[in-house]
Amino acid sequence: MTFDEKLKKMTDLINNRLRELLAPEYPEIIYEAMAYSVFAGGKRLRPLLLLGACEAVGGDMSEALDFACAIEMIHTYTLIHDDLPAMDNDDLRRGMPTCHKKFSEDIAILAGDGLLNLGFETMLERASKQQDMRYLRAAETIGSLCGVRGTIGGQVADLLSEGHKADKDVLLYIHEKKTAALIQAALKAGAIIGGAGEDELEQLDKIGYKMGIAFQIKDDLLDITSTAEVLGKPIGSDEKNQKSTYITVFGIEKAEEDYLRLSGEVCEGLARFGKRGQFLSEYSQKLIDRIN
Amino acid sequence: MTFDEKLKKMTDLINNRLRELLAPEYPEIIYEAMAYSVFAGGKRLRPLLLLGACEAVGGDMSEALDFACAIEMIHTYTLIHDDLPAMDNDDLRRGMPTCHKKFSEDIAILAGDGLLNLGFETMLERASKQQDMRYLRAAETIGSLCGVRGTIGGQVADLLSEGHKADKDVLLYIHEKKTAALIQAALKAGAIIGGAGEDELEQLDKIGYKMGIAFQIKDDLLDITSTAEVLGKPIGSDEKNQKSTYITVFGIEKAEEDYLRLSGEVCEGLARFGKRGQFLSEYSQKLIDRIN
């Protein structure tokens, strides 16, 4: 199987399971709103990393599928709430109306709550069914990295930094918590379910951090060096929104330097997982090298 | 120890543990907002039921304390999100400014998200520490009853029914999901941690449902029969807001009849737990008989 074939197969598995987990019941509108945002063009980055990490440590990917779906639901809830009028007030995401535009603001708030809750429900149900402490530990890992000490804390720091230049520590905190935390969570949870040893978990934690920061620097770089056609959204939006980025805080030279160093370290780190880590390695490289 | 002494002791335990779990870190404002709403005068109804149920089946209450705090955090997040401008748009709750009035709307949304997440984190951490499947099952029970198939579904149905008279099935669905679900979750989770057998769990599930519906009918009755002084909020607000209530849907006679029947059944059901269930029984009676 080529990389692209495997990528498609895994993405299909994730999407099919997400459809099952989001099967509508009464009151249908909340399921529609949750599914609308989950199926609004996401590339399944975190679920693919989670499955890839499970495989990289010698685990059976199918055992980690529910957790892959859970992390996608949790990621999607952060997007729905971030887009709300009281937050970033975005009308469009990936060219489609945001959840509160398509439905209404009250339904969007509840769809976000519903996805966060369903993410945890899915993990707990799976853990309970398996009666295996690995699943519990994987759920705990995801839970702590997406809470106030993780993603939510990052979003708060980001809101607080609006309109003025963030200092270096704050910017790194925001990038670590808003971007790297869920990537670390995906890699670690997948590896835990796959039966990783403590040293492998520690390595993947560091790789996840570096991948997250490299991913975010790339994002900041693309915003000033790409074109609207390639990017699919207006360029220069960070400057327009007076947003602190890796570039405004550290300068473009250091941004490019750090990006290259970190992506090199991610590549090296993943190479140590050998043939079993091939998909994870190749996929991670594509993520970091992306042009849009 | 008298009932009141025991109530105070348990409430203090819950509040002290909540303070620990909400100890502020960077960025402090989100911890402040979460703690503000958690300590805004809540009576700790659900945590007290959870601890009482643990005791009623012969368990050690201290083992259930973290879960008691988790359910209070989850309950509080529903209040914060329900009060938002896009939802009920309430400026005051228990005479104090609501979270988005005291802080801001974006912080209130994130404080709600943070409390929901921290509720799950707290349960998962405890379950992981104990390495005991009872905790996992208790977390799963709470998770499923506060999600889209529970509290969130109830809130959605409530939003959909605004401005027109709900039919009987819809009203019962709303009362079951919005009010009874978390009471059932509290009783069942406490009992699971306390080591209850399957028949005890089934009994408590039914008792929780009846208690929730009786509690809600009482709420609807007080809104038309009490005075603003006793209630601490304006009476007749349901009628003003064109809200469907047990009374508008079933009539006052059936409301009073069902209230008496259900509260009697709760009382009888709890009596079967004998001396160990004395606190739970007495506390439940006070809840159902409340005058404000």
Answer whether residue B232 shows pLDDT above 80. Answer: no
Q: pLDDT of A73-117, one tens digit each?
A: 999 999 999 999 999 999 999 999 999 999 999 999 999 999 999
Here the tokens at position A233 are 């959204």
Q: Give B3-289's CATH code, choosing from 1.10.600.10, 3.40.309.10, 1.20.120.1750, 2.20.25.90.
A: 1.10.600.10
Does A105 sit within 8 Å of B148, measured CB to CB? no
When the pLDDT of each residue in chain B is averaged and rounded to a whole number, the result is 94
Residue B92, φ and ψ in degrees, nearest 5: -125, 145
pLDDT tens for residues B116-136?
999 999 999 999 999 889 999
Write the residue in B30, B81, B139 that is nearest to A109 by C-beta.
Answer: B81
> pLDDT grade, residue B224 (50/70/90)?
confident
pLDDT in tens, B74-107: 999 999 999 999 999 999 999 999 999 999 999 9
pTM here?
A: 0.97
In tens, the pLDDT along B45-68 reads: 999 999 999 999 999 999 999 999
B86 in contact with A at a CB cutoff of 8 Å? yes
Which of A204, A181, A180 minimizes the C-alpha distance to A52?
A: A204
In this prediction, residue B225 carries a pLDDT of: 83
Percentage of chain B exceeding pLDDT 90 = 87
Q: pLDDT at position B242, please?
A: 76
Retrieve residue B147's tokens.
């999600």
Q: For the purposes of burial, counting CB atoms within 10 Å of the CB of B229, is it exposed (0-12), middle (13-18) or buried (19 or more)?
A: exposed
Phi-psi region of A44 (alpha: psi -120 to 50; beta: other; left: phi over 0): left
Asked whether residue A228 carries a pLDDT value surpassing 80, the answer given is no
User: What value of ipTM does the predicted structure carry?
Assistant: 0.96
Closest-CA distance of chain B to residue A198, Å? 16
CA distances from A270 to A171, A191, A275, B122 (A): 26, 13, 10, 32
**Single-letter code of the amino acid located at B116:** L
Lowest mean pLDDT among A36-40, A60-64, A222-226, B269-273: A222-226
Whether B173 and B30 have beta carbons less than 8 Å apart is answered as no
Is the minimum CB–CB distance between A107 and chain B shorter than 8 Å? yes
CB contact under 8 A, A157 and B26: yes
Are A86 and A44 spatial neighbours (Cβ–Cβ below 8 Å)? Answer: no
**DSSP letters for A166-178:** PPHHHHHHHIIII
- Is 80 exceeded by the pLDDT of residue B230? no
Across-strand partners of B97? B92
* Site of tokens 């050690």: B60
Fold of A3-285: Farnesyl Diphosphate Synthase (1.10.600)
Q: Select from A25, A36, A129, A152 the residue whose CB has the most chain B CBs within 10 Å, as the one to mutate to test that interface.
A: A152
Which among A106, A120, A149 has CB closest to B25? A149
Q: What is the pLDDT of residues A14-29, one digit of tens each?
A: 999 999 999 999 999 9
For residue B118, give both structure tokens: 């921290």
The answer to whether A120 contacts B120, with C-beta atoms less than 8 Å apart, is yes
- Per the structure block, which two tokens stand in for A64? 């980690």
User: DSSP 3-state assignment of A36?
Assistant: helix
pLDDT attached to residue A166: 86
Strands A96-97 and B92-93: unpaired
State the smallest CA–CA distance between residue B157 and chain A in angstroms.
Answer: 6
B137 touches chain A (CB under 8 A): yes
- A101 CB within 8 Å of a chain B CB: no
| Rounded Cα gap, residues A158 and A166, in angstroms | 9
Beta-strand pair A96-97/A92-93:
antiparallel
Binding-face residues of A in 197-236 toward B, CB within 8 A:
none
List pLDDT tens digits, range A108-160.
Answer: 999 999 999 999 999 999 999 998 899 999 999 999 999 999 999 999 999 99
- B119 interface with A at CB cutoff 8 Å: no
DSSP designation for A226: S
pLDDT for A238: 73
Residues of A within 8 A of B155 (CB-CB) are 110
Q: Which chain A residue has the Cα nearest residue B137?
A: A128
Give the best residue of B28, B121, B176 to mutate against chain A (max A CB count within 10 A).
B121
Query: How far B286 CA sits from the closest chain A CA (Å)?
Result: 31
B143/A120 touch (CB, cutoff 8 Å), yes or no: yes
